[in-house]
């Protein structure tokens, strides 16, 4: 193809060491992070936090500075869970204008080659990291996450996940040579000789549909996997969490332009109320890739209707914990208590269904009845949320009215082990804060625990035995899917049996977590998030399958 080259851009040379280390990390699967997760001034500088907050506040109640084609009017749709007035007005463009601009930017980006694209993407991550406090504030006040969590999950961990996707993209794009000589004997005559060139060709325009709870962490892997493999990307944020992705697009467009490329390789698609912009974009013939995180209903709709595109979805599931026995009862309760409390359970990985034998379990403190086990977990949650000032740094704020409606609905089912409380945030009087609730329901009440209750709602379920617990896990996760599962047991046979069920239903399993690692945490470069092997997600973050179908190899052969 005329003009196609993979002569490295200077940005590739600048960041090649980071890429090399990331490539090693995805092979070794040990701990590694490129971006320090502590917001300490010793790491980021004495003024970094204040500068980032000031940059965030400068956006409020004003027009967001983003120059995009087709943008006429502006929209402001965000409402902070902390009660802070945001009032940011974003450019609003039509579907056809966005798709046309993205499509026009594709050829030069495609022809630049994998190394150049990777180099530019690495520079975007570096630019975002330099502004990570600004990004963290935007995540905090749109998602309801407490600041430290927003800094980590919305900032440094999201950047790690993005880098991970770049490493996989580069590995897949360079798996084969760009050019090869081919020679075949032809009897007594001269051999047949050809030169074959293999071009990495993007699929087309990519669409990323963002979510309210983790606008960057869930969006970055697909965004950067598509961009690195040559596809221009249209980013459609959730209407209540636009600012984090608007900031992302802003800095990325600056880097693209500085590197000599059309900034329309990355575009922000903001949505007016009732517009259904995601659906219009997802069905556009030019859109060939769709990434979505959110409800099962809409994810299923995308998979069924966006037939012209490769669709990657992360949806809802029934995250399950099987408790059989433990040699650290206090540690188990603390670990599960933290799991249920973190971000008020508004994580796609938070445990919902906790299965415990009705006759109780054996522990290092002797036999514990079902009620004692359930009560121990509830007490750990209560302790974490007893003090408002400390508790809100774990719970954050409630992200939308749907969570509040479910908290009201759950009071009408089962028997409360721990009731939810309304908490006044000491720093933000308008914040909507609710502590988690734990409810006891019967094992035959699958109508209740057999559906997802997104938010700070968990069920403790008395079962006939651990074997019965595993049957429930097999049935519920097998039907509805899950992103995480956990088991507590001192019996290797039980651990093996649970792992066998987890493999069967395609869910990632954590065993005997009692310390500082929690089932709802996922570490880039080591843990896979989602398996693509059950109904909760049709893809995994991040593996070769996640990136390889975002491009195709087109060959040309020339006779020598």
Matching residue, tokens 């991550």: 125
* Residue 363 to residue 133: CA distance in whole angstroms: 44
Number of residues that this document lists for the chain: 560
**Short-list 43, 35, 245, CA closest to 152:** 35
Q: Which fold has domain 10-315+539-559?
A: Aldehyde Dehydrogenase; Chain A, domain 1 (3.40.605)
Q: Model confidence over 79-138: pLDDT tens digits?
A: 999 999 999 999 999 999 999 999 999 999 999 999 999 999 999 999 999 999 999 999
CB 172 within 8 A of CB 163: no
Which band of pLDDT confidence, cut at 50, 70 and 90, is reported for residue 1? very low
CB 329 within 8 A of CB 495: no
pLDDT of residue 72: 80
Q: According to the CATH classification, is domain 320-511 in 3.30.70.270?
A: no
CB 529 within 8 A of CB 540: yes
Structure tokens given for 513: 């977590």
Residue 243 Cα to chain centre, angstroms: 17
What is the pLDDT of the chain when averaged over all its residues?
Answer: 96
Whether the predicted pLDDT of 414 surpasses 50: yes
Residue 299 burial class via C-beta count within 10 angstroms: exposed 0-12, middle 13-18, buried 19 and up: buried
CB 217 within 8 A of CB 162: no
* Residue 344 to residue 336: CA distance in whole angstroms: 13
Sheet holding 353-357, edge to edge: 415-418, 437-440, 457-463, 353-357, 320-323, 484-488, 508-511
Mean pLDDT of 394-420: 97
Mean pLDDT of 402-408: 97
Using DSSP's 3-state secondary structure scheme, residue 357 falls into strand
Using DSSP's 3-state secondary structure scheme, residue 497 falls into helix
Using DSSP's 3-state secondary structure scheme, residue 195 falls into strand
Which band of pLDDT confidence, cut at 50, 70 and 90, is reported for residue 5? low
Q: Model confidence over 310-355: pLDDT tens digits?
A: 999 999 899 999 999 999 999 999 999 999 999 999 999 999 999 9
Of all residues in the chain, the percent with pLDDT exceeding 90 is: 96
* Residue 26 to residue 28: CA distance in whole angstroms: 6
Structure tokens given for 251: 């800095």
* Residue 197 to residue 5: CA distance in whole angstroms: 11
* Residue 317 to residue 535: CA distance in whole angstroms: 7
Bridge partner list, 179: 197
Which band of pLDDT confidence, cut at 50, 70 and 90, is reported for residue 363? very high
pTM for this predicted structure: 0.96
Task: Return the biggest CA–CA distance within the chain.
Answer: 90
Q: Model confidence over 244-261: pLDDT tens digits?
A: 999 999 999 999 999 999
Beta strand segments in 324-442, E = 353-357, 361-363, 366-368, 415-418, 422-423, 433-434, 437-440
Going by the DSSP 8-state scheme, the letter that residue 153 receives in this structure is I
Whether the predicted pLDDT of 545 surpasses 60: yes
Q: Model confidence over 492-534: pLDDT tens digits?
A: 999 999 999 999 999 999 999 999 999 999 999 999 999 999 9
Q: Residues near 109 by Cβ (< 8 Å), separated by ≥ 6?
A: 117, 202, 230, 232, 261, 262, 265
Whether the predicted pLDDT of 3 surpasses 60: no
β-bridge pairing 74-75 and 90-91: antiparallel
State the Cα torsion 539-541-543-545 to the nearest 10°. 20
pLDDT of residue 6: 63
Q: What share of the chain is helix, strand, coil (3-state, %, to 5)?
A: 45, 20, 40
Domain with CATH 3.40.309.10 in the chain: 320-511
Beta strand segments in 6-55, E = none
pLDDT of residue 2: 35
Using DSSP's 3-state secondary structure scheme, residue 511 falls into strand
- Terminal alpha carbon distance of the chain: 17
Beta strand segments in 464-512, E = 484-488, 508-511
Tell me how crowded residue 43 is: count the other CB atoms within 10 A of its CB.
11
Using DSSP's 3-state secondary structure scheme, residue 410 falls into helix
* Residue 494 to residue 513: CA distance in whole angstroms: 15
Residue-by-residue DSSP string for 72-129 = -SEE-----TT------BEE---HHHHHHHHHHHHHHHHHH-HHHHHHHHHHHHHHHH
* Residue 560 to residue 556: CA distance in whole angstroms: 13
pLDDT of residue 138: 98
Of all residues in the chain, the percent with pLDDT exceeding 70 is: 99
Domain with CATH 3.40.605.10 in the chain: 10-315+539-559
């Amino acid at each position: 193809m005329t003009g196609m080259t993979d002569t490295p851009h200077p940005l590739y040379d600048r960041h090649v060491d980071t890429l090399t280390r990331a490539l090693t990390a995805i092979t070794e699967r040990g701990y590694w992070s490129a971006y320090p997760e502590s917001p300490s001034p010793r790491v980021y500088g004495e003024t970094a936090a204040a500068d980032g907050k000031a940059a965030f506040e400068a956006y409020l109640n004003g027009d967001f500075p983003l120059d995009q084609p087709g943008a006429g009017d502006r929209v402001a749709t965000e409402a902070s869970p902390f009660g802070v007035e945001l009032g940011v007005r974003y450019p609003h463009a039509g579907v056809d204008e966005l798709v046309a601009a993205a499509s026009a930017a594709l050829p030069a980006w495609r022809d630049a080659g994998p190394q150049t694209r990777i180099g530019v993407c690495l520079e975007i991550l570096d630019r975002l990291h330099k502004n990570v406090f600004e990004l963290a504030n935007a995540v905090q006040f749109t998602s309801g996450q407490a600041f430290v969590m927003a800094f980590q999950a919305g900032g440094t961990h999201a950047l790690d996940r993005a880098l991970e996707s770049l490493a996989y993209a580069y590995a897949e794009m360079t798996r084969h040579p760009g050019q090869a000589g081919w020679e075949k004997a032809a009897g007594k005559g001269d051999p047949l000789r050809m030169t074959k060139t293999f071009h990495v060709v993007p699929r087309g325009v990519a669409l990323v549909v963002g979510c309210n709870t983790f606008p960057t962490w869930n969006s970055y892997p697909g965004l950067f996997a598509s961009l690195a493999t040559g596809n221009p990307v249209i980013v459609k944020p959730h209407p209540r969490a636009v600012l984090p992705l608007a900031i992302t697009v802003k800095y990325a467009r600056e880097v693209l332009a500085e590197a000599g490329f059309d900034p329309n390789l990355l575009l922000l698609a903001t949505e007016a109320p009732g517009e259904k912009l995601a659906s219009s974009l997802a069905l556009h013939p030019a859109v060939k890739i769709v990434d979505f995180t959110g409800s099962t209903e809409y994810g299923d709709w995308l998979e069924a209707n966006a037939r012209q595109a490769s669709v990657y979805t992360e949806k809802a599931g029934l995250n399950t914990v099987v408790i059989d026995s433990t040699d650290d009862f206090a540690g188990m309760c603390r670990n599960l208590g933290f799991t249920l409390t973190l971000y008020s359970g508004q994580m796609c990985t938070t445990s919902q269904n906790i299965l415990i034998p009705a006759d109780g379990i054996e522990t290092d403190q002797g036999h514990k009845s079902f009620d004692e086990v359930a009560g121990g977990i509830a007490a750990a949650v209560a302790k974490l949320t007893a003090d408002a000032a400390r508790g809100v740094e774990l719970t954050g704020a409630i992200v939308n009215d749907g969570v509040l409606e479910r908290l009201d609905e759950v009071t009408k089912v089962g028997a409360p082990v721990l009731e939810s409380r309304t908490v006044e945030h000491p720093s933000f009087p308008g914040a909507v804060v609710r502590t988690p609730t734990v409810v006891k329901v019967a094992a035959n009440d699958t109508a209740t625990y057999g559906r997802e209750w997104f938010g700070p709602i968990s069920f403790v379920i008395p079962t006939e035995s651990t074997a019965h617990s595993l049957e429930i896990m097999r049935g519920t996760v097998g039907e509805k899917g899950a992103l995480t599962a956990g088991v507590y047991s001192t019996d290797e046979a039980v651990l093996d049996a649970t792992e066998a069920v987890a493999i069967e239903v395609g869910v990632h399993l954590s065993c005997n977590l009692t310390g500082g690692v929690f089932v709802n945490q996922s570490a880039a470069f080591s843990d896979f998030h989602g398996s693509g092997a059950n109904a909760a997600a049709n893809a995994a973050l991040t593996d070769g399958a996640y990136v390889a179908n975002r491009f195709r190899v087109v060959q040309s052969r020339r006779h020598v």
